[in-house]
Chain A
């Protein structure tokens, strides 16, 4: 048997890439993207037949853009799509099986027959069983209106065309075979979106990027196999609410930016939900979200990220008891984009409500005062607007506190002290001023005593290159 690790293979020199067996070479090529992998065919006879054996094909229109033309321009995306259609037509025929096929395509503003060519090939591949069931990943990107002032708006026209194309040309087996679907910059009508999502019965991952079903629509998701869901709204994408009715396998949800007045998402049956990221730049008409209510059906969260990035803290202070059932399994809590000057002691109620928490990560924003807030964010709250009670409690599991964007000011020192007092088993605190290359300010303070000369705290400070100093409690 061939021996892995012996250096005696003849002609090896320094590099023995060709000594690797085909299946490993295919894995390596699989990491390269189809265009680059295709280029490797000219290496030698052996390499020539390899691209045709790839079990996972990734055809991404962005890789096919010609270099000479203006980025984002119509001519460039059109040319890229012609090449994609050509690549699909030359790669999909043949009798080999494809486990996974990812197609990332542009929808063009003036025609849809290029995409139709792609869809027709997909039909064949799916109908003949060449692409494994549930082996499709599709990304549809609307291209911009070409310099029109409303170019950032999700495209209604391209959504309409896509809907029509799929209704007319997609084989009945096509959409049920889609495991991953991403829609970028598309505005559907509510029935069109509902029907599209409804037909993708095997969906495991759904991404809606600046895509919606028009102003005030509710996005309804309920897929038996769905595991990951991401909804990123741009300033112009305005769904009213995300409703996840039943997704028994859903593990991870990301919602970034919402424009509804109340809680952005409601959960029905989501017994496997472990990870939730909610980020929003709250605007003046939005009511603070009551977490215990929104998460009532998500009691198994392990990791929660809340992002603010505006003057508004968009969650409501709550009694820890009320939140505890939803936070009982929480291990990691991350709060980002909190404005500079905010008294962070309010964050303690979250810590109190999560007795199993192991790490608590705070990220203060860059100073917002550098830029006047625009009108829609309403009045600038004073830093004492968020003055929730500071609870007294003991926390036994918290091991690590991290604070990036830390500045040597009383507010910031205070939260560090408050957490330190409550967390009996805290092992490390990492403070980082968020400024790459600046010196971190923390050491001296800790070694010389606390705020207003509370009892001195002994710390060992370890410096690792390229990372913030870790202050270890000793």
Chain B
């Protein structure tokens, strides 16, 4: 029994390593090719499902909605989360630290942060998407509407009547 399950586990392990060692090519909208491990590419649910459906692994995946700069950054995230384990407190702490530094760097360049957010959404990279949207939310938190409008360049187009209605509702809350 013990040896049987051990052998099965070893086989599964080997298989996992096999598929994990495959390389996948992602191509940005500028036609630049990025070669990543399958484990890294599988961070994206979009790519994962294409790979699992027996898609064109060899030909690679063109990503017409993502430019090279953004894709490079997204891959940086996927490499870290796809290729590293997170079983232990320490491994998780290392990933958390990576996330913290990663997002701090993005936060300094808001336009780039939105690009990465859009790409994470398009590629369905859940962890990265949660990270970037939380970061944007944190920027908004605690600001007055006027401050938010200034910070984000939002044009004010409400009529006096709209505003009255909102105030009405807000007194409930």
Contact = CB atoms under 8 A, between A and B. Distances in A.
B153 A11 contact: yes
B119 interface: yes
B98 to A, nearest CB: 13
A47 B169 CA distance: 15
Contact of A31 (B90, B134, B149): B134
Nearest to B156: A44
B122 A4 contact: yes
A359 interface: yes
A332 B89 CA distance: 7
Interface stretch (A82-90, A99-107, A172-180, A190-198): A82-90
B134 A332 contact: no
Contact of A34 (B110, B149, B173): B173
B162 A4 contact: no
Classify the interface of chain B: helix, strand, loop or mixed.
helix
Given A31-B134, A32-B140, A332 B158 contact: no
A400 interface: yes
Interface in B131-154: 133-134, 136-138, 140-141, 145, 148-149, 151-154
A15 interface: yes
Contacts of A42: 145, 158, 163, 166
Nearest to B173: A87
Contact of B154 (A17, A29, A35): A17
A94 interface: no
A28 B137 contact: yes
Interface string B40-71: 00000000000000000000000011110110
Interface residues of A, number: 54
A83 B173 CA distance: 5
B102 interface: no
29 contacts: A1-B65, A5-B29, A5-B65, A5-B67, A5-B70, A6-B67, A14-B153, A15-B111, A24-B118, A28-B133, A28-B140, A30-B133, A32-B140, A34-B173, A35-B173, A38-B170, A40-B148, A42-B158, A43-B145, A43-B148, A44-B149, A44-B155, A45-B162, A302-B87, A303-B88, A332-B88, A332-B90, A359-B88, A402-B90
Interface of A: 1-7, 11-20, 23-24, 27-32, 34-36, 38-45, 47-48, 64, 83, 86-87, 89-90, 302-303, 331-332, 334, 358-359, 361, 400, 402
